[in-house]
Chains A and B, each alone.
Chain A
Amino acid sequence: MEARKSNELSCWAYKIRRTVLETIYTAKSGHIGGSMSIAEILAVLYFDRMKIEPQNPELKERDRLVLSKGHCSPALYAALALKGFFPMEHLKTFRDIDSDLSGHVEIHVPGVDMSAGSLGQGLSVALGMAMFAKTNHYDNRVFAILGDGEIQEGQVWEAAMAAGFYKADNLTAFVDNNNIQLDGYLDEVMSPYPIGEKFRAFGWNVIEVDGHDVVQIDSAVELAASIKGKPTVIVCKTVKGKGVSVFENQVKFHGGQPTALEWEIAFAEIDSKIAEMGA
């Protein structure tokens, strides 16, 4: 990938982060850590790889994404608003009593392909969408983003088994491996490691990348499209709270809210990063 494009995608990732911060700051509630760690994945998907039309969100043969870690709605809503599915202004209503932008992602929001919230269900849904595409001879792709804590849910492995069995090569899953879940570090709460080997055992193509390197993510998504006969999982090594020094690797920012000072630092750091990238 040329440097200009890579810089552009990184820039989108930081705009997603900036938007996540604004959204959660306004709502005074929401999941910061896991929203920040998937910014590059969403930037690559929505600003490069996914075949979608913001003016025509119901396009039947569009690419689809299931954000299985549905609590990271601020990141997906940010990507969708930046892409033009709905006005940026609308994000200010996040978690409001009269808003469609609920705490967890909702299918009724333009651009959202499936509701999520109860962890462990999204990979099955994405597999269903991929099987639907194959049955109808559509050439669209289906993506799913899973949390690394989420894969402690047994249903994820039911879906992994079925996706391998049905040779769902139009399905690409991401595991956001930031190594932190609500109660602490994964290896202290309940280790799902090694992640790649488990998927491989179920017949998946496994790619491991730096989840904050848009070039690596982008080429993995491209490579996944060329792998026939098996689904692909891209295990992304990420940092929870990525981009803000006081949020990074902090267990409390899974769902906790920052202090006024922390907010100040967060906005300043993200803004300076965006300025540095020349956007």
Chain B
Amino acid sequence: MGEKISTREAYGRALAEYGGNPDIYVFDADLKKCTMTEYFAEKYPERFFNIGIAEANMVNIAAGFAACGGTALVHTFAIFAAGRAYDQVRNGVAYPGLNVKVVGSHAGLTVGEDGATHQALEDISLMRTIPGMTVVVPSDAHETRLAAKAILEMEGPCYFRTGRCPVECVTDSVEGYEFEIGKGVTLAPGDDVTLIACGLMVEEALKARKLLEKDGIQARVIDMHTIKPVDSEVIIAAARETGAIVTCEEHSVIGGLGSAVAEVLAKSDYPVPQEFVGVDDVFGHSGHAWDLLEKYGLSPEEIARRAKTAIVRKQKNKRNA
């Protein structure tokens, strides 16, 4: 594990690194120092546009660029990208199928002290329901860099979610790690239960795995960086082989990763017990980022507890069978 870097910082660096293609245009709504598009802006000022505090306008201006053949990336906080500009993203980007990437930073509870108005807990859900939308939630700096490169190379609309807080790098030391949109990555093996996580909850899931190991439980950990299209193959294999699933996300338990996994399980031949770790249909609050995760039940301890619940449910099902 190396230096702790936030996914927004890693994204900003990657955008500057891979932004050399003259067809790429970058837009921000007065948050370039927060979304970290300022690295791109310094390097390619002629292709950077600050639209001011007008997210709806920004999304449609970007759509105009994309309609002329550009690859347009819009940046603001996740709460405004997916919430305030929802109609513009749905009707102005996704419906005409334009090549606009919507990058929402400061997602989830770990916005911290700024509090509930700035904590996007519904964005994955909102973006996931839009037809044709790809939804990517990278877990750490290493993955973010590769994911940013991948979305720059793909055609069509995409929602890309980054976070404010520096996080450990957990994917760089994984042997044979490769990033591909729509392909979940198994970070650690295990046959008793599977923890499927996205964003910074991947790190928390890996910590939970260690806690479970102490109790003799082997938990598989899957980094599900793409929520849509979700990797049903890896989910079904996990259900078949481990018989119990816990989804972990820094998002509402409604409509996000947990729901995407449940949709796959319910339709599969292995509708195994699933526990949902996430924000339980409430708003967030001000506070230190990591304290908030703890308060709202997004901690390694809670993941471990839910993993045990899922295992008990699995065993009960077996007995009843």
Contact = CB atoms under 8 A, between A and B. Distances in A.
Contacts of A118: 87-88, 91-92
Interface stretch (A83-91, A119-127, A220-228): A119-127
Most buried by B among A118, A128, A155, A161: A128
What range describes how many residues of B lie at the interface? 20 to 34
Interface in B60-76: 60-70, 72
Contacts of B66: 128
Nearest to A113: B67
Contact of A124 (B25, B49, B56, B69): B56
Nearest to A68: B60
A162 interface: yes
A131 B67 contact: no
Given A114-B96, A128-B61, A121 B88 contact: yes
Contacts of B56: 120-121, 124, 155, 158
What range describes how many residues of A lie at the interface? 20 to 34
B95 interface: yes
A132 B70 contact: yes
Contacts of B95: 115
B47 interface: yes
A108 B95 CA distance: 11
A49 interface: no
A117 B66 CA distance: 18
A68 to B, nearest CB: 10
Most buried by A among B51, B54, B60, B91: B60
Nearest to B60: A124
A159 interface: yes
A235 interface: no
Contact of B64 (A60, A124, A158): A124
B54 A129 contact: no
A113 B69 CA distance: 12
B63 A131 contact: no
A9 interface: no
B117 interface: no
A132 B96 contact: no
A135 B25 contact: yes
B269 interface: no
Interface string B81-96: 0000001100110011
Contact of B67 (A125, A159, A162): A125
A215 interface: no
Q: Which label, helix, strand, loop or mixed, suits the secondary structure of the A interface?
A: helix
Interface in A125-157: 125-133, 135, 155
A190 interface: no
Contacts of A201: none
Given A132-B70, A135-B46, A162-B51, A125 B91 contact: no
B129 interface: no
Contacts of B61: 124-125, 127-128, 131, 159, 162
A125 B70 contact: no
Interface in A2-59: none
A258 B16 CA distance: 58
A161 B54 CA distance: 10
Contacts of A166: 49
Contacts of A268: none
A122 B64 CA distance: 9
A128 B47 contact: no
A117 B91 CA distance: 8
Most buried by B among A132, A161, A162, A166: A132
A129 B68 contact: yes
B68 A132 contact: yes
B63 A114 contact: yes
Given A121-B91, A121-B92, A132 B54 contact: no
Contact of A114 (B54, B59, B62, B64): B64
Contacts of A131: 49, 61, 64-65
7 contacts: A124-B56, A124-B92, A125-B60, A128-B60, A128-B66, A155-B60, A162-B61
Interface of A: 60, 64, 66, 106-108, 113-115, 117-118, 120-122, 124-133, 135, 155, 158-159, 161-162, 165-166
Given A106-B96, A114-B67, A133-B68, 8 more contacts: A120-B56, A122-B60, A124-B60, A124-B61, A124-B64, A128-B72, A131-B61, A158-B54
